Amino acid sequence: MGNYILKRIMSIIPVFLLAALLTTGMIHLSPVDPAEAYLAAAHIQPTDEILAQKRHEFGLDQPFFIQYVNSVLKICQLDFGISYVSNQPVWDEVAHRMPATIELALGSLMIAVLVSVPLGFLAGIKRNGAVDHISRFISFFGASIPTFWLGYMLVFFFSVQLDLLPVEGIGTWQHLVLPSMTLALPLIAMYTRLLRASVIENLQEPYVQFARIRGMTRMNIMAKHVLRMAISPMITGLGMNLGKLLTGTIIVEVVFSWPGFGRYFIEAIFNRDIPVIQCYVFLAAAFFILSNLIVDLIQMYIDPRISRKEGQHR
Amino acid sequence: MGTEQSTVLQVRDLHVQVHNQKGNSTIVQGINFELKRGQVLGLIGESGCGKTVTSMSILQTLDPKTTKVEGSIALRGRELNGLAEQDMRKIRGKDIAYIMQNPMNAFTPVFTIGQQMIESIRSHTSFSKKQAKELATEALHHVNLPHPAKLLHSYPFQLSGGMLQRVMIAIAACLEPAVLIADEPTTALDVFNQKTVLKYLDGLRSEFGTAILLISHDLGVIAEMADEVAVMQNGRIVENGDVFQLFDEPKHDYTKKLLSARLTLPMDQLAT
Amino acid sequence: MISIRKIFKGPKVIAICTIILTVLLIIAVFAPWIAPHHPADVHLVYKLQPPSWTFPLGTDHLGRCNLSRLLYGARISLGFAMLIFISSLVIGLIIGTISGYKGGWIDQLLMRCCDGVMAFPNLILVLGLVGIFGPGLPQVIVALMLVQWVYYARIFRGMVLSLKEENFIAAAKINGSSQWKIIKQHIIPNVLPPLVVIGTLEMGWAIMDISAMSFLGLGVQPPAAEWGAMIHEGKSYIRTNPELMIYPGLMIMVVVVTFNLLGEALSDQYGVKRR
């Protein structure tokens, strides 16, 4: 089993390198010269001399391969360059804002899992029951609602009309409620549907019937056996859809003025702050790769067939 | 032990109907048979004749929304048909045990054999985990499965069909059932494993006096194990009686047809 | 006993959704004739008015007619969704065909690219591209195109692969019928359903993405009337005039829901797997 883990970890290194390659290459795709952009943001008049100097500083006059290797080395040291706007190391700015995004993401994931597991499970067990219809409704509309609009609707309802929760900002748990709810809904839509389908499929399996014939209580069969089996595809789905979570944080942070990494990214786009943009894209890719890996590992723990079979010769 | 011949399970006038879009259709009709203590009743017939439905109705696991079960199914005098679910649950697995046809699918893939055996034992007794584990280990030992302690930590996919069948028998042995329904226990196995499984089924019978309802379409298996035989065709029992009599002098046309189609049985055994 | 499930599936749903979409299409095409005012017409005198005969849905903070802006918004959303669909379809066709035809390492490389793009979250790629190229509607459109073609490329590659099969040529000979007939009878029915299903769902997504980008201020620039941009402008008035945000949001939802419903119904009908 340790072998399997090691193999998986090794397999992501080339993907990381590829991501670094793409982000380095991004600069060259841009019609904007990074040196010019920097000077523009710093409000310095670009003369040829200063431009050349800046280019040299950024290493832009070196062959691409050298630039790539430099980038990779720098990334390993968490050096993403200096922000054009604030003149501070990008990593510092990012590290400063990251906790807020993580708080939001975790809050939403928690809500999403707490709601979708019981909902999806009950919907699958009692097909066409009341819970099932509710779950299908949520699944459908949750996926079709524009996240930013949902955020404002919630704000309108809870903050403006009912004055229960703050409109924006960060600080107390009340500040966290609406943003995480907004972010959680598309996730709930997806997970509920996945779990429901998985439960329905599992109920047809022979092991359920045999468990009943052995004299297990219905509660035991459902809560222990079926749930454990059915949750596996949902976890895979969870991993694959973390991308939605990432995307969502950007929008939710803008809507709720949540001072996180996503909002910073949008600001950087407006400011043409290229180092920050690069950093975000790379970290997004890294997050993506890592989360897929973690999901794989969790899968392995839940479903023992995966790792054991790798070793067997069949 | 003597020749105590008390009736353990009595099925009278069993009539099962299924309700679907087209209306009601009868699956089995007028089924009558008895299981006596320590006896093996063989139930033979082709696929689809209603053997499995019969055993499912004894266990009361048919869907009440789509099926209607009429008639009497009495376990030691206690009526099972229409019994409340929580009472029936206690009987399933303990008083009436069941061996499934395809052992590879029977167990939950994500739990170990040990976990599922202990779970079975503890849901019918008040044993502690440790006691249940000991009982399970011993039972596995009894059916000659190697390294019982290690086996308990294995997952179902790591065992072969024959081994899983024996595990099912072991679980049954732990609970000392009055009745065991074996639904095609040998169909999914090779000849060697077939013999082993039959041997341990017989062991249950001799040790606990379990009455066995042996369902099979394999006449060789029936011939070897059964004391009495019932022949099913299209949801009805067309003939029943003592195994030797039935095989030597079949009365019903259908029985004759079945028997004549299996003349090559002894040759099979020699070939391996 | 009718289950709600049955209500939401089947040809009836497909019909209803198609009708709704046709209505939207008509609105988009004929907006200049249907709308009571020009969407950019500013009447500061009449700003933030409730619904009236002149302004059926009221006015926004610059005195512009809400209804007109909503109707014109359909043009932008549907129009560009169509544009993106067609162009990514073409790109997908070209690349898919090359990939399927050439095979070998080109095929592998292109398909790996597809996998990467498909797996990676849509919006982040789009944002990254916009980050490089700069904010603006053309950039957003191009970015969305670059993200969408992958789905079609796969379908077309599959088509080319099945055409390449020697069996196909042999079957044509045996059958005596022309290759065109076989293409029509066997290949096209395999290609069309996934295209239609994915196309429908992707259009819904494209509209969502366009409005999201406009909302962020990176897509459509003012004074253009686009639903996402309208929400962006309306958010300052959430306390006093929430309808400035509610109307455009509802429109987005209606359109996206219709596309999704249609896509799902079609996918069930033709047994095609979704994204």
Residue C19 lies in a domain: yes
Report percent pLDDT > 90 for chain A. 15
Check CB contact of A304 with chain B, cutoff 8 Å.
yes
Range picked from A18-27, B8-17, C261-270 for highest mean pLDDT? B8-17
Tell me what pLDDT residue B265 has. 45
The pairs formed by A37-45 with CB atoms below 8 angstroms and a separation of 24 or more are A37/A84, A37/A272, A37/A273, A37/A274, A38/A84, A40/A272, A41/A84, A41/A85, A41/A271, A41/A272, A41/A273, A42/A84, A42/A87
pLDDT for position A76: 77
Across B183-204, average pLDDT: 85
A92 Cβ partners below 8 Å, 6+ apart? none
Of C161, C157, C162, C133, the C-alpha closest to C145 is C133
> Closest partner residue to A145 among C3, C122, C253, by Cβ?
C253
Residue A289 is predicted with a pLDDT of 81
Interface of B with A in 154-183 (CB under 8 A): 155, 157-158, 171
Of A82-96, A102-116, B223-237, least confident by mean pLDDT is A82-96
SS3 per residue for B203-227:
HHHHHHCCEEEEEECCHHHHHHHCC
In whole angstroms, give the CA distance from residue A187 to residue A139: 9
pLDDT tens sequence across C140-169: 888 889 888 888 888 888 888 877 776 666
Return the ∠ at Cα C224 (arms to C260 and C213), rounded to 5°.
Answer: 50
Three-state SS at C225: coil
C4 assigned to some structural domain: no
Q: How far is the CA of B88 from the CAs of A214, A217, B61, C57, C64, in angstroms?
A: 11, 10, 9, 65, 73
Task: Note down the domain range covering C96.
Answer: 10-273
Say if strands B67-75 and B78-79 run parallel, antiparallel, or are unpaired: antiparallel
A141 contact residues in C (CB cutoff 8 A): 257
Are C260 and A189 within 8 A, CB to CB? Answer: no
Give the tokens for residue B3.
């020749």
Q: Which two tokens stand for residue B139?
A: 């039972």
Look up residue A208 and give its amino acid.
V
| Shortest alpha-carbon distance between residue B201 and chain A (Å) | 17
Judge contact between A192 and A135, C-beta under 8 A.
Answer: yes
Nearest to B38 by CA among B12, B11, B10, B4: B4
Question: Residue range B189-193: average pLDDT?
Answer: 82
**Contacts from C96-103 at CB under 8 Å and sequence distance 24+?**
C96/C152, C96/C153, C96/C154, C96/C155, C96/C156, C96/C157, C96/C158, C96/C159, C96/C160, C97/C156, C97/C157, C97/C160, C99/C153, C99/C157, C99/C160, C100/C156, C100/C157, C100/C158, C100/C159, C100/C160, C100/C161, C100/C164, C101/C160, C101/C164
pLDDT in tens, A285-311: 888 888 888 888 887 777 777 666 544
Give the pLDDT of residue C147: 87
Rounded CA-CA distance B72/B224 in Å is 30
Q: What pLDDT is recorded for position A101?
A: 92
For the beta carbon of residue A52, count every other beta carbon within 10 angstroms: 13
Identify whether C263 is part of a domain: yes
CA distance C151 to C91: 10
Q: Is A206 on the interface with B (CB under 8 A)?
A: yes
Place of tokens 């209804």: C67
For residue C66, what are its two tokens? 């809400």
Cβ separation C245–A266 shorter than 8 A: no
Per-residue pLDDT tens for A28-50?
666 667 777 677 767 777 777 77
Q: Is B121 within 8 Å of B127 (Cβ atoms)?
A: yes
Q: What are phi and psi of B41, to 5 degrees?
A: -105, 120
Q: Classify residue C103: in a domain, yes or no.
A: yes
Mean pLDDT, rounded, of chain C: 81
ipTM given for this complex = 0.84
Contact A139, A193 (CB under 8 A): yes
Residue among A214, A226, A231, A235 with most chain B CBs within 10 A, to mutate: A214
**Residue C99 token pair:** 């990939």
For β-strands B23-36 and B7-20, DSSP reports them as antiparallel
| Contact predicate C155/C194, CB 8 Å | yes
pLDDT in tens, C81-104: 999 999 999 999 888 888 887 778
Query: pTM, whole model, 2 decimals?
Result: 0.81
Portion 30-69 of B in contact with A at CB < 8 A: 59, 61
Environment class of B93 (CB within 10 Å of its CB; exposed 0-12, middle 13-18, buried 19+) = buried
DSSP per residue, B3-64: ----EEEEEEEEEEEEEETTEEEEEEEEEEEEEETT-EEEEE--TTSSHHHHHHHHHT-S-T
Q: Which two tokens stand for residue A311?
A: 């070793």
Both tokens assigned to A290: 């890592």
In whole angstroms, what is the distance from residue B218 CA to residue C44 CA? Answer: 92
pLDDT per position as a tens digit, A97-146 = 999 999 999 999 999 999 999 999 999 888 888 888 888 888 888 888 88
Q: Is B227 exposed, middle or buried (0-12, 13-18, 19+ CB in 10 A)?
A: middle
Please check whether residue B212 is in contact with residue B243, taking contact to mean a CB–CB distance below 8 angstroms.
no
| CATH number, residue C147 | 1.10.3720.10
Q: Which residues in A lie closer than 8 A to residue C235 (C-beta atoms)? A: 152, 255
Nearest chain A Cα to C227, which residue? A149
CA distance B102 to C203: 48
Residues 6+ positions from C233 with CB-CB distance below 8 Å: C60, C61, C222, C244
> What does the DSSP 8-state code read for residue C41?
-
Match 């390659």 to its residue by tokens. A21
CB-CB: which of A213, A218, A304 is closest to B98? A213
Instruction: For chain C, report the end-to-end CA distance as a whole number of angstroms.
Output: 32
Q: ∠ CA(B77), CA(B80), CA(B86), 5° rounding?
A: 125
Give residue B264's pLDDT band: very low, low, confident or very high (50, 70, 90): very low
pLDDT at residue C7, rounded to an integer = 54
Q: Alpha-carbon distance B122 to B174, whole Å? A: 11
Which pLDDT band holds residue A159 (cuts at 50, 70, 90)?
Answer: confident
Please tell me the least confidently modeled range out of A236-240, B48-52, B132-136, C87-91: A236-240
* Tokens 């320590």, residue located: B38
Q: Answer whether A203 touches B (CB < 8 Å).
A: no
If one counts the domains in chain C, the total is: 1
Residue C1 lies in a domain: no
SS3 B237: strand
Q: Is the pLDDT of residue C202 over 60?
A: yes
Q: For residue B268, is pLDDT > 50?
A: no
pLDDT mean over A153-160: 83
pLDDT band, very low/low/confident/very high, at B41 (cuts 50, 70, 90): very high
Residue C156 lies in a domain: yes
**Contact call for A and B: 3+ CB–CB distances under 8 Å:** yes
- Give every CB contact of residue A216 below 8 A, 6+ residues apart in sequence: A225, B89, B93, B119, B120, B123
**Contact call for B106 and A205, based on CB within 8 A:** no
Ordered by where they begin, the domains of chain B are 38-60+86-260 (3.40.50.300)
Would you tell me how many other CB atoms lie within 10 Å of the CB of residue C272? 16
Neighbours of chain C (3+ CB pairs under 8 A): A
Q: A103 to each of A240, A292, B102, how far by Cα in Å?
A: 20, 20, 49
Lowest-confidence segment of A211-215, A251-255, C173-177 by average pLDDT: C173-177
Max avg pLDDT among A43-52, B20-29, B78-87, B251-260: B78-87
- Pick from B90, B106, B171: which is nearest to A206 by CB? B106
A126 close contact with B: CB closer than 8 A: no
Question: Residue B15: which residues within 8 A CB-CB, separation 6 or more?
Answer: B26, B28, B29, B30, B31, B69, B70, B71
Q: Which residue has the higher pLDDT, B228 or C61?
A: B228
Contact C242 A160 (CB under 8 A): yes
- Give the minimum alpha-carbon distance from B259 to chain A in angstroms, rounded to a whole number: 32
Backbone φ and ψ for A312, nearest 5 degrees, come out as: -75, 150
In a domain, C5, yes or no: no
- Contacts for C117 with CB less than 8 Å, ≥ 6 apart: C125, C147, C150
Question: Given pLDDT bands bounded at 50, 70 and 90, which one contains residue A313?
Answer: very low
Sheet architecture: strand order including B236-242: B96-99, B179-183, B211-216, B40-44, B228-233, B236-242
- The answer to whether A280 touches A29, Cβ cutoff 8 Å, is no
Q: Whole-angstrom Cα distance, residue C70 to residue B122?
A: 66
- Name, in order, each residue with C-beta under 8 angstroms of B58's C-beta and a sequence gap of 6 or more: B9, B11, B73, B80, B96, B179, B181, B213
CA–CA dist A252, B45 (Å, integer): 66
Closest approach of chain B CAs to the CA of A309, in angstroms? 9
**Is C2 contained in some domain?**
no
CA atoms within 13 A on the CB side of A144: 24
pLDDT at A69 over 90: no
